[in-house]
Amino acid sequence: MCAMHTIFVRDTGEAFQCHDGESLLLGMARIGRKCIPVGCLNGGCGVCKVAIRSGTVCKSGAMSRAHVSEQEEAQGIVLACRVQPTGAVELEVLGKMKKAFSM
Residues engaged in binding ligand FES (CB under 6 A): 25, 38-48, 79, 81
> What Å distances lie between residue 12 and 1, 55, 65, 71, 74, CA to CA?
30, 18, 27, 26, 25
Surface-to-core class of residue 24, CB atoms within 10 Å of its CB (0-12 exposed, 13-18 middle, 19+ buried): buried
CB of 3 to ligand FES, least distance (A): 23
Q: Cα–Cα distance between 63 and 3 in angstroms, integer? A: 25
CB of 76 to ligand FES, least distance (A): 16
CB of 47 to ligand FES, least distance (A): 5
Name which of 60, 66, 61, 91 is nearest 76 in CA terms: 91
CB of 10 to ligand FES, least distance (A): 19
* Closer by beta carbon to ligand FES, 1 or else 47: 47
* Closer by beta carbon to ligand FES, 19 or else 96: 96
* Closer by beta carbon to ligand FES, 28 or else 48: 48
* Closer by beta carbon to ligand FES, 1 or else 31: 31
Q: Cα–Cα distance between 74 and 41 in angstroms, integer? A: 22
